């Protein structure tokens, strides 16, 4: 049988797996630093739960293979949010709110094959769920935490594009766009990156937006692309709309808190034209783009929604969410050569295995190093030539090789070899640990 994997399911060779693991660890640590506890949900849910909030055409169902049966109607999760909603509603009397949690797990989607899409991939989510109310600072924490996580990866510059759903709608109302035309108008604004200004204007005209209003919208688009926070902020100031000023003060609070917490103003952009998720979210919304690679879309998105659990309970659980598309991010960084494999294994020290007569001595060293937390292997085959053992260390990017052979036995010493620098030195048993640690630094 050919050992064929399934297409569009992501699987790594060791060098890349080590990078993916490092990413997961960094993200998890960044999330925990802001107080998000790790939480996992089952991979499988009842079908009706998964289809409650989404179309079901990308969902994988699950059935018993033999005897074939589907009586329980189960399916694999396609995101981490629907299971979270079920979990929160199920445990609403046991959990303490506001509930801050993180989840870095796989989801499955039947996707039409295309670059950067996978049928099994990691999402790295943070969520804050309130009970009836959830203060605005939750939005700050979600943005700060996902930003810190991305920054902890040190891979590339990226810019958060921040908006508030209410702002764009408030702006459109303040320039007298009729309510019935809001959705169409926003849909056209959403095409701003793909179409020329002239084409946009024609589209607005087609749905009978006034010339003045079109000019205002184009002005907003232009200023959103080039202006700094204050310029964009001030451009709203001339409009008379009481609610608008309330929403502006909200975004000012979020922006200023983020700068205060650690963000550089280069890392975050106020972009009042972000419209993509507006149907779903009810307040803050954001997307994050790799600088120079904006064409790949957002690597980290999120926003605020007024009630996470509306399908499952009568109580209200307002919710802010942020998510890093980990598998997608990693696949783009690799295909664009923005990161490269560095290590082929995590092992730091290889003890060569050159003579069964010295096994006890080898084992003493392995034990000593492992007790000190140094990742150590004994070469498995004592009949292998020295050259083969050194090649193994080289292939697996092991840093230090320990050699005990005739010469060393005679002198009662141990030889250390630094694979990268080819430096080799003889040391005594007493100083071995110290010398190994020096070589590893």
Residues 177-236 that bind its own copies (CB under 8 A): none
Cα separation, 389 vs 383, in Å, equals 10
CB atoms inside a 10 Å sphere around CB 232: 21
C-alpha dist (Å) from residue 53 to 132, 247, 275, 309: 21, 28, 20, 10
Q: Is 100 in the site for its own copies (CB under 8 A)?
A: yes
> Smallest distance from the beta carbon of 213 to its own copies, in angstroms?
36
In Å, the largest CA–CA distance within the chain is: 95
Enter the tokens of residue 186: 């926003």
What is the edge-to-edge ordering of all strands in the sheet holding 349-351? 376-378, 349-351, 400-403, 414-418, 424-427
CB of 15 to its own copies, least distance (A): 9
CB-wise, 37 or 440, nearer to its own copies?
A: 37
Q: Token pair 């007024």 is at which residue?
A: 306
Q: What residues from 126 to 165 belong to the interface with its own copies (CB under 8 A)? A: 128, 130, 133-135, 137-138, 141, 148
Interface with its own copies includes 113 (CB under 8 A)? no
Quote the least distance from Cβ 366 to its own copies, whole Å. Answer: 7
Structure tokens at 353: 């295995």
- Verify binding: residue 4, its own copies, rule CB under 8 A: yes
- Does 367 interact with its own copies (rule: CB under 8 A)? yes
Q: What contacts 24+ positions apart, CB below 8 Å, involve 54-58?
A: 54/78, 54/82, 57/110, 58/109, 58/110, 58/111
d(CA 53, CA 439): 56
Hey, which residues between 244 and 263 contact its own copies (CB under 8 A)? 257, 260-262
Contacting residue, 94, 196, 406, 430, with its own copies by CB under 8 A: 94
Question: Under rule CB under 8 A, how many of the chain's residues touch its own copies?
Answer: 112
- Residue 363 binds to its own copies (criterion: CB under 8 A): yes
Rg (C-alpha) for the chain, rounded Å, is 28
Residue 430: Cβ within 10 Å count: 8
By CB under 8 A, residue 354 contacts its own copies:
no
Residues in a beta bridge with 376? 349
Please list, in sequence order, all residues whose beta carbon lies within 8 angstroms of the beta carbon of residue 130, skipping any fewer than 6 positions away: 97, 98, 138, 317, 318, 319
Stretch that binds its own copies, among 31-39, 198-206, 232-240, 299-307 (CB under 8 A): 31-39
Confirm or reject binding of residue 9 to its own copies (CB under 8 A). Answer: yes
Q: Which two tokens stand for residue 93?
A: 């009397």
18 binds its own copies (CB under 8 A): yes
> 210: which 2 tokens?
């006034």
User: What is the nearest approach in angstroms of its own copies to the Cβ of residue 89?
Assistant: 4
Bridge partners of residue 235, in order along the sequence: none
Show the CA angle centred on residue 239, arms to residues 142 and 223, nearest 5°.
Answer: 60
For residue 39, state whether it binds its own copies (rule: CB under 8 A).
yes
Residue 26 sits in the site that holds its own copies (CB under 8 A)? no
Residue (65 or 196) nearer to its own copies, CB: 65
Q: Running DSSP on this structure, what letter comes out for residue 141?
A: H
Taking the least distance from each CB to its own copies, the nearer of 151 and 181 is 151
Torsion sign (Cα): 298, 300, 304, 307: positive
Q: How far is the CB of 352 from its own copies (least distance, A)?
A: 13
Q: Does 35 bind its own copies (CB under 8 A)?
A: yes
Of the pair 215, 345, the CB lying nearest its own copies is at 345
Phi first, then psi: give them for residue 29, nearest 5 degrees. -65, -45
- Mark the segment that binds its own copies (CB under 8 A) among 207-215, 240-248, 265-273, 368-376: 368-376
Question: Under the criterion CB under 8 A, does residue 11 sit at the interface with its own copies?
Answer: yes
Quick check: 49 binds its own copies (CB under 8 A)? yes
Applying CB under 8 A, which of residues 213, 218, 366, 409 lies at the interface with its own copies?
A: 366
Q: Which residue has the tokens 């629907």?
A: 82
Q: List Cβ neighbours of 289 (8 Å cut-off, separation of 6 or more).
A: 158, 159, 161, 297, 298, 299
Contacting its own copies within 59-88 (CB under 8 A): 59-68, 72, 74-76, 85-87
Phi, psi of 354 (to 5 degrees): -110, -10
Min dist. Cβ of residue 390 to its own copies (A): 13
By the rule CB under 8 A, 382 interacts with its own copies: yes
Q: How far is the CB of 191 from its own copies (least distance, A)?
A: 29
Q: Which one of 245, 282, 307, 313 is in contact with its own copies (CB under 8 A)?
A: 313
* Range 401-430, binding its own copies (CB under 8 A): none
Q: From the CB of 51, what's the least distance to its own copies, in Å?
A: 8
Exactly one of 345, 413, 429, 438 binds its own copies (CB under 8 A); that residue is 345
């Amino acid at each position: 049988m050919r050992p064929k994997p399934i297409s569009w399911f992501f699987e790594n060779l060791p060098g890349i797996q080590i990078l993916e693991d490092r990413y997961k660890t960094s993200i998890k640590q960044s999330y925990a630093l802001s107080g998000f506890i790790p939480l996992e949900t089952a991979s499988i849910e009842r079908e009706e739960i998964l289809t409650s909030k989404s179309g079901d055409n990308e969902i994988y169902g699950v059935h018993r293979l033999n005897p074939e049966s589907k009586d329980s109607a189960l399916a694999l999760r396609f995101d981490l949010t629907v299971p979270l909603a079920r979990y929160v509603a199920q445990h609403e009397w046991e959990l303490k709110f506001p509930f801050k949690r993180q989840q870095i797990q796989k989801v499955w989607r039947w996707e039409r094959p295309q670059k950067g899409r996978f049928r099994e991939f990691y999402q790295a989510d943070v969520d804050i769920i309130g009970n009836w109310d959830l203060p605005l600072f939750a939005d700050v924490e979600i943005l700060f935490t996902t930003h810190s996580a991305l920054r902890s990866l040190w891979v590339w510059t990226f810019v958060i594009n921040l908006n508030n759903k209410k702002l764009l709608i408030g702006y459109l109302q303040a320039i007298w766009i009729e309510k019935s035309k809001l959705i169409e108008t926003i849909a056209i604004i959403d095409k701003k990156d793909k179409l020329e200004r002239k084409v946009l204007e024609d589209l607005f005209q087609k749905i009978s937006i006034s010339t003045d209003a079109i000019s205002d919208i184009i002005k907003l688009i232009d200023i959103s692309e080039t202006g700094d926070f204050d310029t964009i902020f001030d451009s709203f100031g001339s409009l008379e709309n009481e609610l608008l000023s309330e929403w502006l003060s909200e975004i000012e609070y979020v922006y200023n808190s983020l700068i205060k917490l650690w963000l550089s103003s280069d890392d975050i952009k106020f972009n009042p034209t972000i419209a993509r998720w507006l149907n779903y979210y009810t307040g803050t919304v954001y997307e994050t783009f790799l600088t120079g690679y904006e064409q790949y879309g957002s690597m980290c998105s999120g926003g605020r929604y007024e009630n996470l659990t509306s399908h499952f309970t009568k109580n209200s659980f307002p919710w802010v969410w942020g998510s890093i598309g980990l598998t997608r991010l990693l696949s783009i960084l690799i295909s664009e050569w923005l990161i490269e494999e560095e290590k082929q294994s995590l092992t730091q020290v290889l003890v060569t295995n050159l003579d069964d007569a010295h096994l006890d001595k080898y084992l003493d060293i392995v034990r000593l190093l492992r007790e000190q937390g140094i990742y150590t292997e004994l070469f498995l085959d004592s009949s292998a030539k020295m050259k083969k053992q050194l090649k193994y260390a080289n292939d697996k990017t092991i840093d230090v090789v320990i050699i005990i052979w005739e010469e060393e036995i005679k002198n009662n010493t141990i030889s250390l070899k630094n694979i990268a620098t080819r430096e080799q030195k003889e040391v005594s048993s007493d100083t071995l640990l110290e010398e190994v640690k020096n070589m590893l630094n």
